[in-house]
Amino acid sequence: MRHCSNATIVAMVLAATTATTATTATTAAYAASPAPPASDEKREFQLQETHTAKEAHGATASKIKPTRTEAAMKLFVVDKDKGPVKGIVIFLTGPDKTKYYAEPTDSAGYAEVLVPVGKTYDITYLSLGRHEIAATVPVADEPSQSVKLTLRYKREVVPKPLVLDGVNFDTAKATIRPESFARLDTVVDFMVHKKEARVEISGHTDNVGNAGANKTLSEKRAQACRSYIVSKGIDKKRLDAVGFGDEHPIAPNDTDEGRQKNRRIEAKEL
């Protein structure tokens, strides 16, 4: 086995994200450039040795060191027009689905995390609902590796709300059904790892029945979801709950299918 205690690894990953898609491209500076994949394929980068990753850090000195069993992943997030992007949370997912979260990027767009060696990782931006894989990176089964990645990121001008499909209530009540908890836990997970985020939970109904009663019910349901998320340890000051009744339909109310779509809970990062 080749040891690289003094060598480091670096790759350049340029990943542009939009509301619904994530695309990737490479530069030839530090990583081999594979043929462009189809839109539904992941891109894997072959890393090459360099000596810049070991000393890489953000606004402050690095707090992690690679070991015999863990590689130091050093991540830079940049907007091609505005430069470093602060406050982005990145997580790496291994073959066994274990997730390794970095802290939010600092003012230099930098974040870091240790991951076990000898595995290939999917790199994803943490967001409400949009979990497109920005890149796939193999980490060799070798000790003392530092891996430097630069990720290109584009913020949404106006974040779109996430429809929390699967959040259901007892008929005409604000009692959350137990099968809904797993879906609400995705919001909890987002807020646990993106510590500065504030989220609005909104309730919506179809147009059947009294409009005023529907609006009241939608608010109570949103409040019930907020209370559940707070019960998981999230500060209530980070959550707003509002009810809109039938004011914002996403489908026609003249069919059962359309009315079912309109009866929903949404989450939106503020």
Work out whether the CA dihedral 244, 164, 102, 77 comes out positive or negative.
negative
- Tokens standing for 159? 């974040």
CA nearest to 56, candidates 77, 70, 33, 76: 76
Residues 162-269, CATH architecture: 2-Layer Sandwich (3.30)
Torsion of CA 147, 12, 55, 124, to 10 degrees: -50
- pLDDT at 133 (0 to 100): 79
Beta carbons of 59 and 105 less than 8 angstroms apart = no
The CA–CA distances, whole Å, from 49 to 12, 32, 134, 243 equal 12, 11, 22, 55
The listed CATH number (2.40.30.170, 2.60.40.10, 3.10.50.40, 3.10.310.10) that belongs to domain 8-152: 2.60.40.10
Question: Tens of pLDDT along the chain (270 residues)?
Answer: 444 433 444 444 443 333 223 333 322 222 323 333 443 444 454 455 556 788 889 999 999 999 999 999 999 999 988 999 999 999 999 999 999 999 999 999 999 999 999 999 999 999 887 666 788 899 999 999 999 998 888 776 677 889 999 999 998 999 999 999 999 999 999 999 999 999 999 999 999 999 999 999 999 999 999 999 999 999 999 999 999 999 999 999 999 999 999 999 999 998
What pLDDT does 213 receive? 96
Write down the pLDDT at residue 123. Answer: 93
Q: Where are the domains of the chain?
A: 8-152, 162-269
**Tokens in use for 249?**
């339909």
pLDDT of amino acid 128: 85
pLDDT at 51: 65
Q: So what's the pLDDT on residue 200?
A: 97
What pLDDT was estimated at residue 130?
66
If we measure between CA atoms, which residue out of 20, 39, 268, 19 comes closest to residue 155?
Answer: 19
pTM of the predicted structure, to 2 decimals: 0.76
Chain segment 119-155, per-residue pLDDT in tens: 999 999 998 876 667 888 999 999 999 999 988 887 7
Residue closest to 22 by CA, chosen among 147, 146, 127, 153:
153
Contacts of 239 (CB under 8 A, 6+ apart): 198, 199, 200, 201, 226, 229, 230
Evaluate whether 125 touches 149 at the Cβ level (below 8 Å).
no
